[in-house]
Structure 1
């Protein structure tokens, strides 16, 4: 292709295309993304029970207590926490299962045995808590705080298992033995070697360094990543990069999700733990922040179109895009206007989410709006205003989202108005012809 005749957008897209394909095609990125997507429904399931248990309106809590006829609200609230203990509280365990399944399928090795082997390896590296009855597994050690450990253990476990299996190191059964019987026997040696390796790692860390894998990984890997992903500067870079990829026709959200989801989920879980303990959450940036405040940008284009559009094209786009965007689905807007590779809109497209990020951060940091509690971990499709109220437990969260909607509409308005005017005049000229 002659690059002299290529536009700037085509050149950038030509450079970014292979990068996007390489990232999206990476087995480990895909597996981590699959694992986080599999984990997401449980955050929503648990949140329903947590919202009821700790409803932001005290009168509702009192009403439920009176209806149930119990002396104290904590009696029924503790029952609802059973779901949290079986879902969010074992987040690391869920990621181990889903990630090892996805990765073993992609590497074409025994799925069931790899799930179980990775699970045993993960628990083997999980530090125990000393009790009167002796060392015991503490459920608090296998929540979202162990997510980095679960990812690393899964990748090593499945890769090592495959390395051994590919060398045909196994107990060989006669051909007459059914696969359901021979399969587990053939997995004995690979599973044993994998588990033994992690056993040795635990002993080395425990005896040689007086430490454990969870603490080590969260210190060496988790702390820098959390500081980066949990900082305003890091969030701004993430949102600009995400929109930059979208502008050139690449799925920016899926590319950054595999890297950022574990980080923001850990921060979200820290807020949840603080809220359940009756403390004030400390993390401004979390999964709730990213999904429900930092991503309010593109909706401004939809509202601006509904307010000022005169052209038939934009009026139709407004009708089509409005309902999906009630649930934060922006593809009809992206393709309908269109916004991708449309340099008339590059400024609001790249800066919209960044402005939302900065304004939201300042609102939370100044104490004007209470921080997301982590109790209501709602899916990103939850409508704006509703999500702001529930994730913060305050009407101020909904008001902040309304402010962001106004700011985004004002940002997009002049650009939409200028583009719509050109289209409207072009439509009139076509009618005259």
Structure 2
């Protein structure tokens, strides 16, 4: 490819990257979902203890609290109920806060207004005495898409009102701690009224809740695409294509994929804890721990076949970081960007890993990640495969993906290594 053409592509992709990285709404959604992740990991820790692979460990821990194993597991499940069951609320508060900050608005009244609006749109049920009952499932994983929409709409409407100066103005002598709550009354009142009207219209004329509509219009197609192997392969190919041109592909693609994959992950967890069949082969754990195995093959290939001094030095600094999922030393150290020798393996290896893993899961060779254990992306492979699947077969699947990725990388590494050797010999002779 000619340099001018490469520069044109790089320029266009650079604009795309700049759009994603500077767009306040995309950044707020991404940061909001990232804020949710620690709670999924914390809940996973408690669930791991409750269903530890070595029963004697759980029995011993239960005995310390003078509980049976089942009682102990139920007590540990309280943390899951207190965190993931309100996943929609966590996402709502995190996104509305982040978006308010991006828009340079006071985040506290916006978070609280968004919370009220979310509950206005959340469907209630009536018990036999005619009392309103809120099902916790309506504020959990299945409400994440509603939480995203509500957060964005609340900030947009609130910001519009605030810009027009439609607020209660108090004298400057009044302390900000007193004046700010009063300034938020009118904007919050208008926003809440708008959402109340939406609730009334949907219920009266369509007999539907906002949760049902959002999940049908937005959630269903997104989960159909993001939850399919076709969607995963396309996303991985696009991410790696961006990396080739020096653009952080994961940052862009993950901002779209994470909300979808996290919902699928939480659906699996809910199904597992209620003893139902797992609905989703693809989820956040599939993406993080299996479909992301690619560049690791380059490091292993360099370790096995490289002889040039350049690559010998690189493997010393790149191998250990990649044990913890950090691939930048390899990407920038080889470098892989704009080196067409590496175009094919860089682009295809994560997609190949995704396909291999998908086949292993759908054929029941490896247990599908049930969502109860979600580990950070920095968790070393083999260990992470075991933890998210609860089986040694998950670790073996990762090993197979590493082997296949390495085999793909080896011939290309050999070509580049020979080129480096010739250059080193030439430079040595020139001294």
TM-score, scaled relative to structure 1:
0.96
Match of 1:226 among 223, 226, 233: 223
Aligned to 1:271: 268
Match of 1:407 among 404, 408, 411: 404
1:111 and 2:107 matched: yes
CA distance in 2, matches of 1:426, 1:335: 19
Paired residue total: 429
Give SS of 2:125's match.
strand
1:372 and 2:396 matched: no
1:102 and 2:98 matched: yes
Q: How does 1:29-428 map to 2 (within 5 A)?
A: 29-66=26-63, 68-70=65-67, 72-132=68-128, 134-428=131-425
Q: 1:280 to 1:390 in 2, by over 3 A?
A: farther
CA distance in 2, matches of 1:285, 1:192: 41
Report Cα offsets for 1:214-244 as digits up to 9, x if no partner: 1111011100000000011111110000100
CA distance in 1, matches of 2:313, 2:172: 65
Structure 1 residue 403 displacement after superposition = 0.5
Segments of structure 2 that go 5 or more residues without pairing to the other structure are none
Q: 1:200 to 1:409 in 2, by over 3 A?
A: same
CA distance in 1, matches of 2:245, 2:2: 18
TM-score, scaled relative to structure 2:
0.97
Report Cα offsets for 1:328-369 as digits up to 9, x if no partner: 100000000000111000000000001001000000011101
Report Cα offsets for 1:107-143 as digits up to 9, x if no partner: 1222111111011111111112333451122222111
Q: Which moved more, 1:400-409 or 1:417-426?
A: 417-426
CA distance in 1, matches of 2:123, 2:2: 61
CA distance in 2, matches of 1:331, 1:295: 14
Structure 1 residue 59 displacement after superposition = 4.3
CA distance in 1, matches of 2:424, 2:102: 51
CA distance in 2, matches of 1:36, 1:236: 22
Structure 1 residue 69 displacement after superposition = 4.2
CA distance in 2, matches of 1:380, 1:10: 32
Report Cα offsets for 1:67-91 as digits up to 9, x if no partner: 5543x32201111111111211111
C-alpha RMSD of matched pairs (Å) = 1.5
Structure 1 residue 63 displacement after superposition = 4.2
Report Cα offsets for 1:361-384 as digits up to 9, x if no partner: 000011101100100111111110
CA distance in 1, matches of 2:106, 2:64: 52
Give SS of 1:87's match.
helix
Match of 2:22 among 25, 28, 32: 25
